[in-house]
Amino acid sequence: MDRLTNTIRPYAWGSTTAIAELLGVESTGEPQAEMWMGAHPGAPSRTARGPLNEVIGEDPEHELGRAAVAEFGPRLPFLLKILAAGAPLSLQVHPDLEQAKEGYEDEERRGVPIDAPHRNYKDANHKPELICALTEFDGLCGFRDPVETADLLAGLGVDSLKPYVDLLHAKPEEAALREVLTAVLSADPEQMAATVSEVTAAAEHLGGAYAPYAGIAHHYPGDPGVIAAMLLNYVQLQPGEALFLGAGVPHAYLDGLGVEIMANSDNVLRCGLTPKHVDVPELLRIVRFEATDPGVLRPEASPDGEEVYDTPIDEFRLSRFVLPEGGARHDLTAGTPQILLCVAGSVRVGDAGQVGPGESVFVSAGEKAEVSGVGTLFRATVVA
């Protein structure tokens, strides 16, 4: 059982206060976007035995369990994060496993450097993810019904949006969404910037349902992603609620603090709200052009007090325990690797001792893991 020391990523969109407040330390005044917990080679957690990826690499079957190694290979298949958005993240989608393998092999064959700014595929893995809100959390997830989007755009009274409104009314769902997103991302940059400026002014004036997009435009003036964002469902999670983001679903996180878990991959195709490379043809190959309900998840409680966020993949399983004063001890011993993360109160985790908000522990497969105390503990593991 290893207490983890974790890297905080200072991405520009990060909150300057949220992670510091969770940890109970003074803010540096600089953005702190993500705290990574796991064995990702880009920023592995550190243990008394060394970096977690090296610890696992020395004896994968002991650390991960035979079943997990057989299913996912000799590496921890998930990455757990605390994510603190102080500004909108880029609008993005992730490939499915087959698309990721094809894209990675193609870029390798063409000799695209792995660190090239125009490279899309850093690895051959997919990147399903789950975000669970710790505070009120705003985001965009999946396409809204095209007719509803047409009405939203028409309500702005911006003449240059009329062709998009007409397409959304006239075409079948898939064609309408594909043609409008393609048109937005392929438009003349100067003309699109002028349209976004008009949209921003109208959204600020109208408020209400338009307020989130006015906020996005404030951070990304002139970006075509502002219009693309209006094609998506706006979602406001309450603490404890979650979203699962599968392959091909466009999404963006806007504001709030949450626990995020994902398959161990860096594959992102961007649609806007970013100065980074946007590969429109490849993006259009990956996006699923279908209107969807965001599908807000609430945990399903089991008799032993574990509250599980049900997802359709095996690389990760996220659950939480809300431990009341005077409550029972919980034996979390499992044949799979685990990361236990405290987000409130004080919880004793086996031999690792007391852990407080923002502190985490790696539990090797089969290792005795008894927890007790008063607080909220998230449990990340795999299905194997």
Active site residues: 270
Contact status, residue 142 vs residue 291, Cβ threshold 8 Å? yes
Q: Which of 291, 33, 21, 293 is nearest to 178 (CA)?
A: 291
* Tokens representing residue 4 in the block: 């983890």
Residue 142 phi, psi (nearest 5):
75, 160
Alpha helices in 258-368 (DSSP H): 280-286
Contact status, residue 34 vs residue 10, Cβ threshold 8 Å? no
Specify the DSSP class assigned to residue 118.
T
Find residue 256's DSSP bridge partners: 85
- Determine the Cα angle at 310 with ends 5 and 264, to 5°: 40
What does the alpha-carbon distance between residue 208 and residue 232 come to, in Å, rounded to a whole number? 16
Got the DSSP string for 188-229?
Answer: -HHHHHHHHHHHHHHHHHH-GGGHHHHHHHHHSTT-THHHHH
Look at residue 181 and give its three-state secondary structure.
Answer: helix
Alpha helices in 10-77 (DSSP H): 18-23, 52-58, 60-64, 66-72
Residue 361 phi, psi (nearest 5):
-135, 135
Residue 78 phi, psi (nearest 5):
-135, 160
Specify the DSSP class assigned to residue 352.
G
* Tokens representing residue 201 in the block: 């002014």
Residue 304 burial (CB count, 10 A): 10
Four-CA torsion 329, 362, 122, 291, nearest 10 degrees: 10
Q: Which of 22, 80, 14, 29 is nearest to 255 (CA)?
A: 14
